[in-house]
Amino acid sequence: MKILMILTSHDTLGSTGRKTGFWLEEFAAPYYVFADAGATVTLASPLGGQPPLDPKSDEPDAQTDATRRFRGDAQAQARLAATLPLDEVRAADYDAVFYPGGHGPLWDLAEDPRSIALIEAMLAAGKPVTAVCHAPGVLRHVKASSGDPLVSGRKVTGFSNTEEEAVQLTDVVPFLVEDELNRLGARYERAADWQSYVVSDGMLITGQNPASSEAAAQALLECLRQR
């Protein structure tokens, strides 16, 4: 199994002057799910190199078993510091792709033509695509083979409007994930705020929030086993 994980390269939270990036739990938990299952994991980002970490995801109250394991794993840290640039990524080289969230992807990966083309190529080849929390926002410009929005008529989830309100960033983000998925015609589903919730619709797997990251990774592995 060859699994590609794509992280954001965007580190600025709008015009607030605050930093953002990827959410540590949403990277670390899936990374170890895949690694422990014997998968070969490749890390990539739009710019390559060290992707920016959302500092809030590294605060004491955000730590989990996976993030603590990562902090003690020098090899994993070195791999994260040397992500491949998206220019060097080819869909044919991987069996699946996973997008961790954090607010960063709303600015870069959601608009990146290389990411959009990669997702379209993976799904056209019958390979699963998974995105968690804010990362379902990367689907906003992805098209199905019909030319319609990929998510139109499909069951999906992602960071909810009320979760965005809770972190007080509703007026900062370039778009709200829930609203955008609904605008595109998706059949948006959700659980209560901060509860794990994962939706699978064919080869498209989405998770609602950070608590969903491990379950989303497990769903991706199960999808690969059933192919």
Average pLDDT, the chain: 97
pLDDT score recorded for residue 215: 98
pLDDT score recorded for residue 145: 92
pLDDT score recorded for residue 177: 98
The pLDDT tens digits of the residues spanning 92-117 come to: 999 999 999 999 999 999 999 999 99
pLDDT score recorded for residue 197: 98
pLDDT score recorded for residue 109: 98
Residue 6: give the domain boundaries. 2-226
pLDDT score recorded for residue 227: 80
pLDDT score recorded for residue 148: 96
Q: Is 138 left (phi over 0), alpha (psi -120 to 50) or beta?
A: alpha
pLDDT score recorded for residue 124: 97
The CATH number of the domain where 127 resides is what?
Answer: 3.40.50.880
Smallest CA-to-CA distance from 119 within 101, 143, 146, 135 is with 143
HSE-up of residue 6 (Cα within 13 Å, Cβ side): 30
Number of domains in the chain: 1
Report the chain (227 residues): mean pLDDT per 10 consecutive residues: 98 96 98 98 98 97 96 98 98 98 98 98 98 98 96 98 98 98 98 98 97 98 93
pTM, entire model? 0.98
Smallest CA-to-CA distance from 138 within 83, 85, 192, 98 is with 98
Would you mind telling me the total number of residues written for the chain in this entry? 227
Q: Which residues pair with 12 in a beta bridge?
A: 19
pLDDT score recorded for residue 136: 98
pLDDT score recorded for residue 57: 97
